[in-house]
Structure formats: C-alpha cells, structure tokens
Structure 1
Amino acid sequence: MYTLYKTYKPYVSPFDPCPPITVKSYSTPPNLYLGFQPPNLPQFPPREALKAGTLWKVFYDPYYSPYERARED
C-alpha cells in the first residue's frame, strides 16, 4: 500500500532563532506508483476530466496543502 503524502523530520539546530518545524510533509503524484499504463483504465467523462486535469481516474490527485488537511481532521 502506498500513500500520496510522505513525512520526514528535518534536522533542528540548537542555534536556530526560529521555532522549529519538527515534521514536514510533501505530496507524491500517483503516477510514481504505476509502472506502466494498463489497458482499459476507467476514465472520467470529458467535462469532469477537464476539471480533474486528467482523463484517467487512477492518475487523479486532489492536492491539499498540509494546512487544509489539518482543518479536515
């Protein structure tokens, strides 16, 4: 199983004047986890494909910033 959001812990210097960010996150696109495009993938209807930015449903990635994700939880 894969996740579209990854996290890591950056180095926090004891001499940093700002409050540290202890955990950072980033988004990875779904096409990284699909080795090749198999035939007969489900598709969006044309109008929805324009909104989603892709024709195939497996490649759709609804990007949320970490701040938006925190509000949803």
Structure 2
Amino acid sequence: MNTPKKVYHPYISPYDPCKPIQTKTYSTPPHLYIGFQPPNLPQFPPMEALKKGTLWKPFYDPYYNPYEKTKGGYPT
C-alpha cells in the first residue's frame, strides 16, 4: 500500500447512541515509503521550499481537509 490516504470501516455497535461514522480515513506521510534517501532527489527552489516545509519534492505532503469535498482530490 503505497498510497498517502488510507480508508477503514470501524465496528459500529448497535447500542451506540451517536450517529456512526461508517468510513474513516487517515493520511500517512511519504517518508514511510522511502527507506534511505536516494541521491539526486528533485528539489524545490529555496523560497518555495520554505513555504512547503521541505526541500525535496517526494517528501512534500500537503494537508487536505477531509470535510472539503472540492479540494485535495480525495473523494470521501
């Protein structure tokens, strides 16, 4: 599973007083899938790297709000 977004379906009790959330999602950081940092990774320009929080493009992981359905490209 080399995807940044994971989905699972938790157990839903018949006695739960709250409305259940049937599908839950979470994000995993990209550094989990890269063992050692390979040489010559593509880099952001310095000012863009400061804004994004990382110098290397493969390690960039933007945050997408799971409740905004139009941004982020993640269907829920």
Stretches of structure 1 lacking an aligned partner (at least 5 in a row): none
Deviation at 1:3, TM superposition (A): 1.1
Greater RCO (Cα-Cα under 8 Å, separation 6 or more): 1
Q: How many pairs are equivalent?
A: 72
Deviation at 1:50, TM superposition (A): 0.5
RMSD across aligned positions (CA):
1.3
Runs of 4+ in 1 over 3 A off after TM superposition: none
TM-score, normalised relative to structure 2: 0.87
Separation in 1, partners of 2:70, 2:19: 21
Separation in 1, partners of 2:63, 2:39: 26
Deviation at 1:71, TM superposition (A): 2.9
Stretches of structure 2 lacking an aligned partner (at least 5 in a row): none
1:40 maps onto 2:45 in alignment: no
